[in-house]
Amino acid sequence: MKRIGFLTSGGDCQGLNPAMRGVTETICTALGDKEVEFYGFEDGYKGLIYGKYRKMTRADFAGIQNMGGTILGTSREPFKLIQIVDPETGLDKVKEMKKTYAKLKLDCLVVLGGNGSTKTANLLSQQGLNVVSLPKTIDNDIWGTDMTFGCHTAVEIATEAIDRTRTTAASHSRTFLVEIMGHKVGWLALEAGIAGGADAILLPEIPYSVKKVAALIKKNTKAGKKYSIICVAEGAMTKEEAKMPKKERAAFYASTGTASDRLAKALAELVPNEIRCVNPGHTQRGGNPCAYDRRFATELGAAAGQLILEEKYGNMVALRGNELVPVPLEEVAGKLKYVPVDGEEVKYARALGISFAD
């Protein structure tokens, strides 16, 4: 009898449900329904810590491949706090997670999460638990994999936001700043900006000049273009902001609003154009997964199922080239996959005339 636990941790994204279904279908097909028990932990690592779970069957995962969100619920449990014993209650989170794992006699814990979740997954693996993880995040910023599930759907939503903004921008002859999710890494803004034909893309990896953004808008106006579309990553920063110490920058941001808000205020003093901000926000993480993410997440789940059957624990399933391969959690944990500032996508965007205002 195999006993498999599931948890979805961190921000939700499209593809979590089909990924879990991929795992269950693969294991049940190989062993038979009666030879497997599944346990779903509620609200991420909290479920594992506080023993909140439900026993599940193959039927619970049937027909969920087109559903967004996660049937298990999720929450954020910051890695920097996971090993700290609560001074008031004496709660040792790592100890409690190990206790719940042992109580249920799990053969493996499947963790579907982003960077912080993967760090905790690696910690549990080092503590002796059998863990397999799957790379989920719309940001596509997990080191070791070419793609994460959820990213393609989010790019489609962000691109549609740019497309819909373009028509009203043209109608009213306005400049629009479309803010796209991506606090530390700009893959989502880069992909959507190229697909949506933005005039400029501002990324966390490439600090920008407000004056150069203003010059671009003036150039477009002079050339007879009635509007400009600036794609702004959530974590985009000016060259001046990039030089600030992190704590000072965080305090500055807390008092000045979002990246697009700050840019809009700065541009208002430099250009006569009417400036508007659009922030699709959490819609980028919401709704049903696109066909690519359904297939990709399902295949990642199937690959994870194979690792469990072969007892190859301590790995994350990654896409490298056209292959799904296991990558040791210790190689992945704590690393971010940034947009290469001299990489192919940035290079082609520049060739297309898209500005990064640097």
- Are residues 246 and 320 both part of a single domain? no
Please indicate, yes or no, if residue 84 is contained in any of the structural domains.
yes
CATH of the domain at 241: 3.40.50.460
- Are residues 233 and 115 both part of a single domain? no
List, in order, residues 6 or more apart from 135 with CB less than 8 Å away.
Answer: 114, 118, 142, 144, 145, 148, 149, 300, 316, 317, 318
Q: Which of the residues in the chain have pLDDT under 70?
A: none
Please indicate, yes or no, if residue 264 is contained in any of the structural domains.
yes
Please indicate, yes or no, if residue 195 is contained in any of the structural domains.
yes
Which of 239, 253, 337, 324 minimizes the C-alpha distance to 23? 324
207-229 core/surface letters (b: 16 or more CB in 10 A; e: else): bbebeebbebbeebbeeeeebbb
- Are residues 105 and 158 both part of a single domain? no
pLDDT of residue 89: 86
Please indicate, yes or no, if residue 358 is contained in any of the structural domains.
no
Please indicate, yes or no, if residue 114 is contained in any of the structural domains.
yes
- Are residues 218 and 231 both part of a single domain? yes
Structural domain for 7, as ranges: 2-149+289-332
- Are residues 31 and 115 both part of a single domain? yes
Helix, strand counts (H, E) of the chain: 14, 11
Q: Return mean pLDDT, the chain.
A: 96
pLDDT of residue 211: 98
- Are residues 224 and 324 both part of a single domain? no
CATH of the domain at 43: 3.40.50.450
- Are residues 6 and 142 both part of a single domain? yes
- Are residues 43 and 144 both part of a single domain? yes
Q: Are 188 and 181 spatial neighbours (Cβ–Cβ below 8 Å)?
A: yes
Please indicate, yes or no, if residue 337 is contained in any of the structural domains.
no
Among all residues, which ones are annotated catalytic?
139
Please indicate, yes or no, if residue 347 is contained in any of the structural domains.
no
- Are residues 172 and 89 both part of a single domain? no
Q: How many domains are contained in the chain?
A: 2
- Are residues 230 and 168 both part of a single domain? yes
Please indicate, yes or no, if residue 350 is contained in any of the structural domains.
no
Q: What are phi and psi of 64, to 5 degrees?
A: -105, 5
pLDDT of residue 308: 98
pLDDT of residue 320: 97
Q: Which of 285, 312, 345 is the last residue of a domain?
A: 285
What are the pLDDT digits (tens) for 60-77?
A: 999 999 999 999 999 998
- Are residues 63 and 19 both part of a single domain? yes
Position of tokens 């199922």?
A: 305
d(CA 39, CA 57): 8
- Are residues 48 and 182 both part of a single domain? no
pTM for the whole thing? 0.95
